[in-house]
Amino acid sequence: MKKAAFPLLVAALLAVSCGESDKEMIDRVFDVARQQYTAMDAALGESTLPKTYENGALVTSDSGWWCAGFYPGSLWYIYLKTGDESIRALAEKNTRKVYPETQFARSHDIGFVTNCSYGNAFRITGDTVWRQPIIDAAHALATRYNPHVGCTRSWDFSPEGKGWRFPVIIDNMMNLELLMEANKLCGVDSLKDIAVTHATTTMKNHFRDDFTTWHVVDYVPEDGSVHMKCTAQGYSDDSAWARGQAWGLYGFTMMFRESGDKAFLTQAENIANALISRLPEDGIPYWDYDAPDIPNTLRDASAGAIMASALIELSHLTGNRSYFEVARKQLHTLASPEYLADPGENGHFLLKHSVGSLPGGSEVDVPLTYADYYFLEALLRLEGTF
């Protein structure tokens, strides 16, 4: 993985926050992660992957769940940090579980599933055995592209009464990384073109004047006009669902890194500034920035972790130190007992207090694989590993 050139990093690592330096905190969390994620594997079946922990029980999924790639991805990050070969063996085993998903795109989530598992396996080991599924998956994702819309389609369903025909959710920005990675591996330029066009279309149609984003934009597939802007997981159609905002921030930061298009960098900065101005003191967002019962409502640790990872990269790309400091605060909060589980607790997940879908009544105030994945990624970025 690429080393980040960030001269102030040494100072940050020596800095003390809440009595614990960044380095001490990062080492402590990865020690917990090594223990928890090793025990997690022992609780899984041959083809199952962790989903969450609810009512004292581990909930698992097969490889078809959109989160299937995060557990293998976290194992790769723990291996990258520790060099522990037993963790590498678990990472390899759990990456192979998602192979079937790399061969067809049941939704846009093929990007999350493949890039976090096979993508990290290839980037971290350089072993070409992991390479082809990344290329296969990118071509499968590209079949969901509609040139009239200028986006890949997210979901194939519509909630009753909505009549969605070509829904694109802000989360889909994350899946563009698979297209960009595959373009570098196989040289097929249409993959990159699709990703850049998707990001440009999203920048035009998903964002409000205050740089918050709608969750869902539904398009008319025949002419690319916008049919509806609404939410699926937020408080209301016009609210700022916290994880969606974090996906947008991360997605535009990543797309600038991958494409060099300055418009994406400006978009990421505008999103970051809008969100930072609305964060609570400890840096962890409420599940929706517009939830009417703030401060008496739930935080979403996953939104905090995704945002922290994106802010550190944005800080490197812009040289704006303030993004790095916000992320540091978020990561020290997530590493505190309020959020980080002790070994043996929390169904072997790391972070407590994430929200999957509050309006849907699913995965409310629970651990989630993607909160852990982006937390570990952000810590590696804080450390300067990449």
Binding residues for ligand GLY, rule: CB under 6 A, are 171, 233, 243, 356
User: Which H or E element spans position 362?
Assistant: strand 362-366
Cβ proximity to ligand GLY, 245 vs 318, nearer residue: 245
Minimum gap (Å) between residue 233 Cβ and ligand GLY: 6
CA–CA distance, 276 with 20 (Å, rounded to integer): 24
Minimum gap (Å) between residue 371 Cβ and ligand GLY: 10
Could you give phi then psi for residue 28, rounded to 5 degrees? -65, -45
Minimum gap (Å) between residue 204 Cβ and ligand GLY: 21
CA 104 to mean position of chain CA atoms: 21
Q: 89 forms bridges with which residues in the sheet?
A: none
Cβ proximity to ligand GLY, 51 vs 243, nearer residue: 243
Provide the 10 A C-beta neighbour count for residue 360.
Answer: 11
Minimum gap (Å) between residue 80 Cβ and ligand GLY: 24
Catalytic residue among 41, 136, 171, 372: 171
DSSP 116-167: IIIIHHHHHH--GGGHHHHHHHHHHHHTTEETTTTEE---S---TTT--SSE
**Quick check: 340 and 32 in contact, CB under 8 A?**
yes
Kindly calculate the radius of gyration of the chain based on its CA atoms and give it in whole angstroms: 19
Minimum gap (Å) between residue 86 Cβ and ligand GLY: 31
Q: 16 forms bridges with which residues in the sheet?
A: 21
Give the residue at shortest CB distance from ligand GLY.
171
Residue with tokens 């009239």: 148
Minimum gap (Å) between residue 244 Cβ and ligand GLY: 7
Alpha-helix runs per DSSP H in 160-279: 176-186, 189-205, 242-259, 262-276
Cβ proximity to ligand GLY, 121 vs 174, nearer residue: 174
Cβ proximity to ligand GLY, 44 vs 67, nearer residue: 67
Identity at 76, one-letter amino acid code: W
Q: Is 62 a catalytic residue?
A: no
Cβ proximity to ligand GLY, 171 vs 383, nearer residue: 171
Catalytic residue among 22, 41, 109, 288: 109
Cβ proximity to ligand GLY, 32 vs 234, nearer residue: 234
Cβ proximity to ligand GLY, 87 vs 195, nearer residue: 195
Give the torsion through C-alpha atoms of 201, 203, 204, 205, to 10 deg: 80
**Quick check: 314 and 272 in contact, CB under 8 A?**
yes
Q: Is 171 a catalytic residue?
A: yes
DSSP 162-177: T--SSEEEGGGGGGHH
- Catalytic (active-site) positions: 109, 171
